């Protein structure tokens, strides 16, 4: 089951939480369901709720200003839509553009999604050395983008259309 997107009272994406946590927030009257899975309902002894995909907090939460989303392997894969940056096929691994052995770090701009074969083929080389040009440039997602990306590229359908657009991946 996917995570649920949490919006601030101001409708700004804030974070994602587990489905259980989302349901607790709704049952405690701390949040309302803004978008739900069309077919699914949660039924229990005292509960009959649509399964929330997006909830909105009823009280505005002040969040410290964050300039960029924290890096994660999963984040890179969803940012790149599980497309290999070298061949365009399905990616299951994360490649360091500048290899870690050459000082390349775990950063949004230095990592791309890669299929296992290309990751293995590129090995300890830069794209230029390996003659494997990138099909697209890695970018740094904003925190909002990263949260929307975390919902899954294929799960946009059915989300409210006032949500910010996802960044385009060429
Ligand atoms: Zn590939």
C-alpha 145 to ligand 1 mean position (Å):
25
DSSP 100: G
Same domain? For 108 and 77 the reply is yes
The alpha helices in the chain, defined as continuous H runs, are: 19-27, 73-79, 116-122, 127-130, 143-150
What is the structure's pLDDT at 93?
Answer: 97
pTM passes above 0.75: no
31-43 and 48-57 beta bridge pairing? antiparallel
pLDDT digits (tens, 9 = 90+) for 56-86: 999 987 766 655 677 888 889 888 989 999 9
Asked if the structure places residue 138 within a domain, the reply is: no
Asked if the structure places residue 165 within a domain, the reply is: no
Dig out the tokens for 116 from the structure.
Answer: 């296992």
C-alpha 74 to ligand 1 mean position (Å):
17
Asked if the structure places residue 167 within a domain, the reply is: no
Same domain? For 77 and 39 the reply is no
CA–CA separation, 152 vs 155, rounded Å?
5
Q: How many structural domains does the chain have?
A: 2
Same domain? For 26 and 79 the reply is no
Asked if the structure places residue 17 within a domain, the reply is: yes
CA–CA separation, 157 vs 58, rounded Å?
25
Residue 170 has pLDDT above 50, yes or no: no
Domain span including residue 99: 73-130
Asked if the structure places residue 162 within a domain, the reply is: no
Are 80 and 91 a contacting pair, CB within 8 Å?
Answer: yes
């Amino acid at each position: 089951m996917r995570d649920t997107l949490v919006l601030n009272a101001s409708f700004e994406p804030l974070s994602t939480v587990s489905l259980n946590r989302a349901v607790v927030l709704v049952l405690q009257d701390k949040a309302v369901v803004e978008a739900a899975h069309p077919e699914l309902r949660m039924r229990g002894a005292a509960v009959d709720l649509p399964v929330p995909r997006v909830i909105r907090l009823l009280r505005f939460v002040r969040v410290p200003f964050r300039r960029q989303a924290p890096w994660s392997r999963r984040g890179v894969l969803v940012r790149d839509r599980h497309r290999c940056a070298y061949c365009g096929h399905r990616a299951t691994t994360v490649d360091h553009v500048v290899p870690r052995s050459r000082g390349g770090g775990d950063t949004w701009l230095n990592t791309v999604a890669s299929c296992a074969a290309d990751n293995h083929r590129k090995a300890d080389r830069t794209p230029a050395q390996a003659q494997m040009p990138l099909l697209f440039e890695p970018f740094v997602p904003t925190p909002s983008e990263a949260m929307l990306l975390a919902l899954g590229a294929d799960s946009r359908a059915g989300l409210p259309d006032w949500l910010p657009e996802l960044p385009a991946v060429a």
